[in-house]
Amino acid sequence: MDSSDDTEVTTDTEQVGSIKETIITVVYAGLIALGIRSFAYEPFSIPSGSMIPTLLVGDYLFVSKLSYGYSSFSLPLGLPLIPDRILFTEPERGDVAVFRLPTNTDKDYIKRLVGLPGDKIQVVKGILHINGKAVKREKVDDYLIDNGFGSVRRVTRYLETLPNGRKHFINEEQGDDGPSDNTPIYSVPEGHYFAMGDNRDNSSDSRFMDRVGYIPRKNLIGRAEVKFFSVDGAGWKFWQWPSSARFERFFDGIE
């Protein structure tokens, strides 16, 4: 009785071709991911509490690079291929923006843009003033901070309303008489912005000219749009997520 063996055999040429196709697929996938990261949305994580209560340490968010157009800081490694900005759209007052720190462009910062080009900004007894007018601020329920050991600390919280109607919460942990609660008048230069953290007494921002100062238009990276993940602790410890993940913050928009 005749027998036949229909087992397929892969030749060396076919194996080489398969490896080549796999490499090409991986390269294409990498280029697509790099393109999305450079020109559409880039993920960032929050390492400090300067934007509490809006953003918490351990929040992970998507930043829209489409919002303000592109500069060299939009590109990997800050490649100097774009001289200034292209496809630029002016930020709105109240945007939560990521930018390269003017005093050290190796660092990314995230703050709220409260001053636009030509504005005069001042803080008087903790109240933000824009072009000589006090910004509306109303006290709301205290912000509660759990230290993880059974005690809760209360922090004074306000709802601030900017001149364009944008509303957001701010914390005033040390009252209205701290060193950054009474400032000189800052005149925002053309092509620059004035940024402040929502955690007003614990934020290194444009009030400190030697540390941050005015934000050049070129340094803008994008607008923070949505939190896609949040964890109270180290994000890489995935086995702790059931107890440390803040599920209520997942895919929550940023005001």
Task: Exactly one of 65, 111, 218, 227 is catalytic; name it.
Answer: 111
List the structure tokens of 202.
């614990």
Q: Are 172 and 200 in contact (CB under 8 A)?
A: yes
Residue 7 pLDDT: 44
Q: Which residue has the higher pLDDT, 73 or 166?
A: 166
Residue 227 catalytic? no
Per-residue pLDDT at 22 exceeds 90: no
Q: Which residue has the higher pLDDT, 138 or 35?
A: 138
Taking only the tens place, the pLDDT of each residue in 214-239 is 999 999 999 999 999 999 988 888 88
Per-residue pLDDT at 30 exceeds 90: no
Per-residue pLDDT at 165 exceeds 90: yes
Q: Tell me whether residue 231 is in a domain.
A: yes
Helix or strand (DSSP H, E) at 187? strand 186-187
Q: Looking at residues 48-59, what average pLDDT do you find?
A: 96
- One DSSP character per residue, 66-121 reads TTT-B-GGGSGGG-TTSSS-BS--PPPTT-EEEEE-TT-TTSEEEEEEEE-TT-EE
Q: Tell me whether residue 2 is in a domain.
A: no
Per-residue pLDDT at 28 exceeds 90: no
Distance CA 123, CA 130 (A): 9
Q: Are 113 and 194 in contact (CB under 8 A)?
A: yes
Distance CA 80, CA 199 (A): 34
How crowded is the C-beta side of 110, counted as CA atoms within 13 Å? Answer: 26
Residue 179 pLDDT: 82
Residue 178 pLDDT: 84
Q: Tell me whether residue 146 is in a domain.
A: yes
Taking only the tens place, the pLDDT of each residue in 109-120 is 999 999 999 999
Q: Tell me whether residue 6 is in a domain.
A: no
Domain count, the chain: 1
Task: Exactly one of 50, 72, 206, 230 is catalytic; name it.
Answer: 50
Q: Tell me whether residue 174 is in a domain.
A: yes
Q: How many Cβ atoms sit within 10 Å of the Cβ of residue 187?
A: 13
- From its phi and psi, is residue 83 left (phi > 0), alpha (psi between -120 and 50) or beta? alpha
Q: Tell me whether residue 24 is in a domain.
A: no
Per-residue pLDDT at 164 exceeds 90: yes
Beta-carbon contacts of residue 103 (< 8 Å; ≥ 6 apart): 210, 211, 212, 213
Q: Which residues lie across from 216 on neighbouring strands? A: 192
- One DSSP character per residue, 20-42 reads HHHHHHHHHHHHHHHHHHHHTEE
Per-residue pLDDT at 1 exceeds 80: no
For residue 209, give the amino acid letter.
M
Per-residue pLDDT at 160 exceeds 70: yes
| Residues spanned by the domain of 70 | 43-249
Taking only the tens place, the pLDDT of each residue in 183-206 is 999 999 999 999 999 999 999 999
Q: What CATH code is carried by the domain that includes residue 203?
A: 2.10.109.10
Residue 50 catalytic? yes
Q: Which residue has the higher pLDDT, 38 or 180?
A: 180
Taking only the tens place, the pLDDT of each residue in 73-111 is 887 766 676 788 888 999 999 999 999 999 999 999 999
Residue 13 pLDDT: 61
Residue 79 pLDDT: 61
Per-residue pLDDT at 144 exceeds 80: yes
Q: Tell me whether residue 156 is in a domain.
A: yes
Q: Looking at residues 54-75, what average pLDDT do you find?
A: 92
Beta-carbon contacts of residue 45 (< 8 Å; ≥ 6 apart): 58, 59, 60, 61, 235
On average, the pLDDT of the chain sits at: 88
List the structure tokens of 45.
């994580």
Q: Tell me whether residue 1 is in a domain.
A: no
Cis ω for the linkage preceding 53 (within 30 of 0): yes
Per-residue pLDDT at 167 exceeds 90: yes
